[in-house]
Structure 1
Amino acid sequence: MSMRRYILVLLCASLAGCEKYVNIKTQGTLVPGSYENYREMLDNTSEWEPAPFLGDYASDDVQFVDSSAQVVSLSSDDFYAHITNCYRWLPTIYLLGTYYAEDDNWNALYNTIAYANIVITEAPSATGATPAQIRELIAEALVHRADAYLGLVNTYAKPYTAATASTDLGVPLVLTETTTQSLTRATMQDTYTQVLKDLRTALPSLPATQAFNTLPSIPAVFGELARCFLYMNEYDSAAKYADSALSYRNTLDDLTQYQSISAANYPLRKADPEVLLSKVAGDGVSGYPPTAMRLSDTLLHVLDTTDQRYVLFTTDGSNIGFGYTGRYFYKDAAMGEARNDGPSVPEMMLIKAEALARAGDASGAMNWVNALRQKRFVNYVPLTATNAADGLQKVLQEREREFFCRMLRWWDMRRLKSDPTFQETLTRVFEGVTYTLAPTSNRYVFRISDYDEKLNPEIQQNP
């Protein structure tokens, strides 16, 4: 569904609604234009939580093995074409005329933005609420909009580079409740500026805690700001906001206390003390054949089998499907809920560690890394770094261990690909064909789907 189409649908169903509906009184307890309508909109988490998932299959965390039962299934029809196209770093992910012609990532994130715009536009005139309650509604919507734009720009635009951000293409900024407007892409700088503006505007009107992690709070905003500045390569600012987030929330799940996890014994995403703001991969629960993510040799090289993240969050292929071999990401399947991609306590700790390593403080960086790892290993032996460069290497490896098979690994690959220390040329084989991803490749940026380009021809396409 194009942006024009789904915005129209949303607006016709919105609380103020299209003209056809404005005089129809809601049956039951809700009244059009009332505070409770907007409160219930924001409590409907399915519309606010989606995060990108395409990069998970493009990242070096995943490895499909030729001639395996999984590859045979993936290749059987075009239902899975978007998955294998991501895996092969193909120029076009969503092909017109196939089962998946529309981009679920793009649609879900712009739907979140459309809902946010409804709240931001209409909530100021809501009835039955105090000014503080109305400000909180708007603040929550601003945070969700900012998160959606951060997800879009790190999927469909180049990695942020300060020197070219004023001319590099970002994504279309849709900031008002409307059915028609130009969808010409904003610059990279304007996109990031809008994200930061939304987050900073929201901050004063939010509470320090919320009943569920699906609802934005002060530490959630600080976490989003820290993440945003990290991907702008502004490490001091990222560390400052990570500090602020950790001053509110700093609890880690102690994985050493578990032999296995399930919804019965491990905190669900909405109540997990590590999660600052719950956001979920748009493809739902992984761990089911044939799209389950088989761990790559690259990841397994850095993921120790004594690491509780390996023990608890992965499983043998025999638990995925008949004839499946190797090791698979399984945390979300074990919990029965989609994997979290939102900001978290471990992410803030590793942002702090990376900033310290880049500033030359190897010891300080390792203190943060070890504080995390001691909750990830039984009988833990602390890591040390010989110098700042070694410390940075260890921090980035820890990010790979902590966030494997989740959105941040692909985002990290994008931001590090231009650094001579970390850049590499990746290769993978699928159905006998070798595919290559060089550091200079434009395949680190997903193209906007042909479907959306056809419906919205003013959207400039990625090369």
Structure 2
Amino acid sequence: MKNIYKNVACILALGLTLASCDNYLDDVPKGSKVPTTLADYEAFLRDEYTNQVVNVDGAIYLMNDQFLTAATLSNNRLFNANYMWDENANRIDLKQSDETAYYRSYAGISTFNLIIENALTTTRATEQEQRVLWAQAKVLRAMNYFNLVNFYADTYVASTAGTKLSVPLITSANINAPSKQVTIQELYDFILNDLKDAIPYLPKVSQTALHPTLGAGYAFYSRVYLQMNNYTEALKYADLALAENNKLYDWIGYYNTNKAIIDVPNSYTTTVSPMGYTYVENYTYRHGSIYYLAAEFDIPVERAQRFETGDARFLSRWKIRTVGAETSYRRTLTGMFNFGGITTVEIYLIKAECLARAGQISDALAVLNTVRKTRILPASYQDISTSDKTTALNAIFKTKNNELINTLIPFADARRLNAEGVYKVSFTKTANGNTYTLKSDSHLWTMPFPQGATQNPGNGTITQNVAK
């Protein structure tokens, strides 16, 4: 128990640090508490601003899903390299400081490791209660590793996953635990094994939105298998997830309720985000990159133009605004946003893609249109109808990118599609009279590790996965 306390003191109380905690404390200080009960460990999972944050800023900048001002781009060369698709920039050199995406993810993994190691021996709990918390920590650990591997390593390709490196795998909460930078295949196997362990013990209803349910486990399984191009298994688990929760939020109703505020010209009065803890689409809730602002990102004009005409979700969230020489779409929601968890709309669209891949085009479009009917205003709505597989898939991809904007998923999907080579994703834009392009085979699709990680990797080694 002494080692547990030392880890909690060093990692959870003080945050990530490179200093050794070996001799930090030999005894519990007066007035302090050693975690022993299930409630003690469950409290770590509820520490949402440390352990439930998914920061993927670099991916959002690369996708141009956030508007960055000229001043910001001038002051931050790394932001500029991603946002302006600068193939010549050495992003490794520019990552001189620690990075939230990396360190907060591993802070969460340390916490989840701590719970996994101790939940089954806690006091004041039944064995079933212990197993539930243990399983929920396994799901959250797997989710963090999925985010890391799809940010800092190449996307999954079966023929190369066994040789290409992913990210450091750490399975102990001990401050001196060894780490190994495993292959992409090894990490995906680890993620799938965590899910296999967890599924039998996940509850159908959990105590808070932060605690994964059985539906969340199935939904995450579906996400992982889709990223591995295993459409059969992705569809299987999508159906299982939707059997647990298939609710879609009525964005048309939200728009109509708030229309008197939303439609006022040149007014940026905010309305309350429905995408918080009680969002009916939630399987599990996790914060995105800007959890502390209780707001979301402004988006570029070019990005706004990729939404469907009459999209009530878009109309309820952004409004065009010009400040000086810069025009963007200003955010108009305030509150909380489930940008790091999993929602039903993602699973509907995974199901639609899997059906289309299998040649079941009409079934796929029925699923897609089920989503669109809750989003597109009746005056603009028409069913998407086609017998062409490519047309159907492109419609699914478009809707999914719009639905999951400001999350990791559009970035992860683009990498998956580019590796497949059939439905490649690339972007072109014009700024200040110049044309910029993000090519489908650009090295920019893989983010470099921060220098703090490679220069001081702890009890292991880290090799960069990208040249610059």
Query: Structure 1 length as normaliser, TM-score?
Result: 0.85
Q: CA 1:212–1:455 in 2, change beyond 3 Å: closer, same or farther? A: same
1:49 maps to 2:45: no
Deviation of 1:428 after TM superposition, in Å, equals 4.6
Q: CA 1:455–1:13 in 2, change beyond 3 Å: closer, same or farther? A: closer
Deviation of 1:6 after TM superposition, in Å, equals 9.3
Deviation of 1:157 after TM superposition, in Å, equals 0.7
Matches within 5 A, 1:154-303: 154-259=150-255, 260=258, 267-284=274-291, 292-297=297-302, 299-303=303-307
1:327 maps to 2:334: no
Q: CA 1:449–1:338 in 2, change beyond 3 Å: closer, same or farther? A: same
**What does residue 403 of structure 1 align with?**
404
Alignment-mate amino acid for residue 309 of structure 2: T
**C-alpha contact 1:246 1:348 (8 A) present in aligned 2:** yes
| Whole-angstrom CA distance in 1 between matches of 2:130 and 2:283 | 22
| Whole-angstrom CA distance in 2 between matches of 1:53 and 1:286 | 14
Query: How many residue pairs get matched?
Result: 438
**What does residue 448 of structure 1 align with?**
449
Alignment-mate amino acid for residue 349 of structure 1: Y
Q: CA 1:275–1:400 in 2, change beyond 3 Å: closer, same or farther? A: same
Which whole-Å deviations, capped at 9, do the CAs of 1:382-405 have from their partners, x for residues lacking one? 111132222112111111221223
Deviation of 1:444 after TM superposition, in Å, equals 0.8
Gaps of 5+ in 1: 65-69
1:361 maps to 2:366: no
RMSD of aligned residue pairs (Cα, Å): 3.1
Q: CA 1:256–1:430 in 2, change beyond 3 Å: closer, same or farther? A: closer
Deviation of 1:431 after TM superposition, in Å, equals 6.9
**1:440 aligned counterpart, secondary structure:** coil
Structure 1 window deviating more from structure 2 (305-314 vs 433-442): it is: 433-442
**C-alpha contact 2:276 2:335 (8 A) present in aligned 1:** no
Which whole-Å deviations, capped at 9, do the CAs of 1:29-51 have from their partners, x for residues lacking one? x6532222112112222232121
Deviation of 1:310 after TM superposition, in Å, equals 1.8
Which whole-Å deviations, capped at 9, do the CAs of 1:102-157 have from their partners, x for residues lacking one? 11100011111001111111222212211111111211111110000000000001
% identical aligned pairs:
25
**C-alpha contact 1:157 1:446 (8 A) present in aligned 2:** yes
Deviation of 1:95 after TM superposition, in Å, equals 4.8
Matches within 5 A, 1:85-124: 85-89=81-85, 92-93=90-91, 95=93, 101-124=97-120
Gaps of 5+ in 2: 1-5, 16-20, 263-268
Matches within 5 A, 1:385-396: 385-396=386-397
**C-alpha contact 2:273 2:336 (8 A) present in aligned 1:** no
| Whole-angstrom CA distance in 2 between matches of 1:13 and 1:425 | 42
Alignment-mate amino acid for residue 283 of structure 2: L
Deviation of 1:364 after TM superposition, in Å, equals 0.3
Q: CA 1:148–1:219 in 2, change beyond 3 Å: closer, same or farther? A: same
| Whole-angstrom CA distance in 2 between matches of 1:257 and 1:20 | 56
| Whole-angstrom CA distance in 1 between matches of 2:12 and 2:329 | 45
Matches within 5 A, 1:297-446: 297=302, 299-318=303-322, 324-328=326-330, 330=331, 334-379=333-378, 380-428=381-429, 435-446=436-447
Structure with greater strand percent: 2
**What does residue 77 of structure 1 align with?**
75
